[in-house]
Structure 1
Amino acid sequence: MQAPDPTRFILLNTSHPGNVGAAARAMKVMGFSDLVLVAPRDAGVLAHADALAMASGATEVLAGARIVESLAQALDGVTFGCATAMTPRDFGPTTHAPRELFATLGAQAQRVAFVFGSERFGMSNDDVYRCHACLSIPTHPDYGSLNLAQAVQLIAYDWRQALGGFAVAQRTPVVVRADGAAVQGLLEHWQQALTAIGFLDPQAPKKLMPRLNQLFNRAQLTPEEVHILRGIARAMEKRG
């Protein structure tokens, strides 16, 4: 039996179904699936066309999400709750940048929840007080307003990195470099071609060929690139 997702994302009083779908997508790409909505404005938001469209491949996160009436219900089973709120408060949990807190939180075995306020009003003081810490995403001081799904994506990414992250999948074939013999053969061919077009004086070559040798070494040519450059050399010889 698969272990339950140890991370929960809680959205409070959401107004726009599209934001819920986009948040579900943000969660899925970072490997999270436990989504709880607290008293959304639209009771049918999880099946709303805008939510399904914005989920774009993460509809199973919506299908598995729950709707509850209070934050207390949403935090059931959670051992560490993180509020996401920008508004300064004179009382409540301490505020941290996500990576600062996650550096230690990620090593602890507990069920963590990230709580996001409504699009228009954010989180109330009472909701913040229910949490153990407050997260503030470091944004430009002149404009720190993030769309709900953007905030979910940033928190989900940093938290996944703290948990160990995912390996980067190789999207292109491993590049094979041309061997030394191929590069030397190319140099000899270019020397002949440059002589043929009158660019190289074989009686006074100076440092042209050693410089080309260094250029080809820095380029780390592939066998295909050696063939292309040899083709250029053949065309130069015909013009010579």
Structure 2
Amino acid sequence: MSTRFVLIQPSHAGNVGAAARALKVMGFDDLVLVKPRWDDVLARDETIERASGAGDVLGKARAVDTLDEALEGMTHVCATVMTARDFGPPTATPREHLGPLAAGGAQRVAFLFGSERYGMRNEDVYRCHAALRIPVSPDYGSLNLAAAIQVIAYEWRMALGGFDAPPPASPAAADAAAVAGMLRHWEQALVEVGFLDPAAPKKLMPRLQQLFNRAQPTPEEIHILRGVAKAMSEAARKAKP
């Protein structure tokens, strides 16, 4: 399975280096930063020192401006949260979710980690298929970003069967960027047919996001759904006097 670790707005260079080290130890090397605090964070001295020999992971890592860019090609997205949310994807421990995920077949999986200062925004969590909560002491639940990445990387490696697992088959599900693009297309069409009030959208689009996350549509199905949205828009325009 293809695996990517995404850090959203990381604010400490040392954590980026420590994240690279955590990934290399567990055999992963796809690290993407979304709007890091420092433009040159991947080359800063503190980053390189904390990477402690994982310079190849830093060399391959990249910084992007949007979460859409970071999730390009990914088909299953996991948020990391400190507490369960009242709304959004189901919350589970890493071991509860990752074992069945690995056993279910080929996926391109992304793990999202929020800013050290603010955590993950609700709108980013809503895009995910699952929210992972690492069990911690109720008396002290503050987990460093790099430590959280190490725990998730370890649990995912173990779920994949350690370092002796056979390579997976090619994935079939559409990637997260394709689903996001389709949802934007549907949002526009739903406004045009009068089903969605942009002034009071409530949680319609996040609920549709969760529906399609569960459905895991293929690229062909995404094409069909975009065709439906296009037809709705065209019908609405023709109906206007």
String of CA shifts for 1:47-73, please: whole Å, max 9, x gaps.
010000000010110110111111121
Residue 89 of structure 1, CA deviation: 2.2
Q: Does 1:104 align with 2:90?
A: no
CA distance in 1: counterparts of 2:94 and 2:5, whole angstroms: 15
* Alignment match of 1:43 (pick from 39, 46, 55): 39
* Alignment match of 1:69 (pick from 46, 53, 65): 65
Aligned to 1:143: 140
C-alpha change, 1:143 and 1:106, in structure 2 (3 Å) is same
TM-score, normalised to structure 1's length?
Answer: 0.66
State the SS of the aligned residue for 1:106: helix
Residue 166 of structure 1, CA deviation: 3.2
Identity of aligned residues (%): 64
The 5 A counterparts of 1:89-100 are: 89-100=85-96
Q: Does 1:114 align with 2:114?
A: no
Contact 2:64–2:70, Cα closer than 8 Å, also in 1: yes
Contact 2:89–2:125, Cα closer than 8 Å, also in 1: yes
Question: Could you list the runs of 5+ residues in structure 1 that have no partner in the other structure?
Answer: 168-240
Residue 46 of structure 1, CA deviation: 0.3
Structure showing greater relative contact order (alpha-carbon pairs closer than 8 Å, 6 or more residues apart): 2
String of CA shifts for 1:119-155, please: whole Å, max 9, x gaps.
1110000110111100000111121111010000000
Q: Which amino acid aligns with 2:117?
A: R
Aligned to 2:82: 86
Q: Mark the structure with the bigger radius of gyration.
A: 1
Question: Could you list the runs of 5+ residues in structure 2 that have no partner in the other structure?
Answer: 165-241
Aligned to 1:27: 23
CA distance in 1: counterparts of 2:147 and 2:50, whole angstroms: 13
TM-score, normalised to structure 2's length?
Answer: 0.66
Residue 88 of structure 1, CA deviation: 3.6
